[in-house]
Amino acid sequence: MKRLTKVLFSMASVSILYLPHALAMASRPNADPNAPPPPAWVSFVPMIAMVAIFYFLLIRPQSKQRSERQRLIGDIKKGDRVITQGGIIATVVNVLPQILEVKLNDDVKVKIQRSSVTDVLTEETYTSMTSGVQ
């Protein structure tokens, strides 16, 4: 998906960059030297198109990803199994506004920041991950 996005973006940006030149070259042989220049807004069309492409290919997906992550972190509750940025799988014992108290095993409890959580595991995912562990 990312590769397709990059290819489409590069094709669109190249075509947008060369579009004014192609139109200008195509109109030169038949152009009247005394004809008035095109309106000023015509030169802004490629820039507006590039901004729209940047928005739909870069800015919008990143904002969706950020809001999904904030929702994931905000929905953490007691008893959830989480994966931290360090790759540690832990069970949430206590939920505070900025800190989570997690249990690594029966004896060890630590406090971590909410922002260090990368994923919340479902029961099916957890059992499939730990089925080969002895």
pLDDT of 102-130, one tens digit each?
999 999 999 999 999 999 998 888 888 77
For residues 74 and 68, is the Cβ–Cβ distance under 8 A? no
Give the per-residue pLDDT at 43.
85
Give per-residue pLDDT as tens, 74-101. 999 999 999 999 999 999 999 999 999 9
The share of the chain scoring above pLDDT 90, in percent, equals 54
Q: Quick check: 63 pLDDT over 60?
A: yes
Domain ranges of the chain: 2-74, 81-130
**What pLDDT is recorded for position 66?**
94
Q: How close are the terminal C-alpha atoms of the chain, in Å?
A: 37
pLDDT given at position 52: 94
Structure tokens at 92: 């949430």
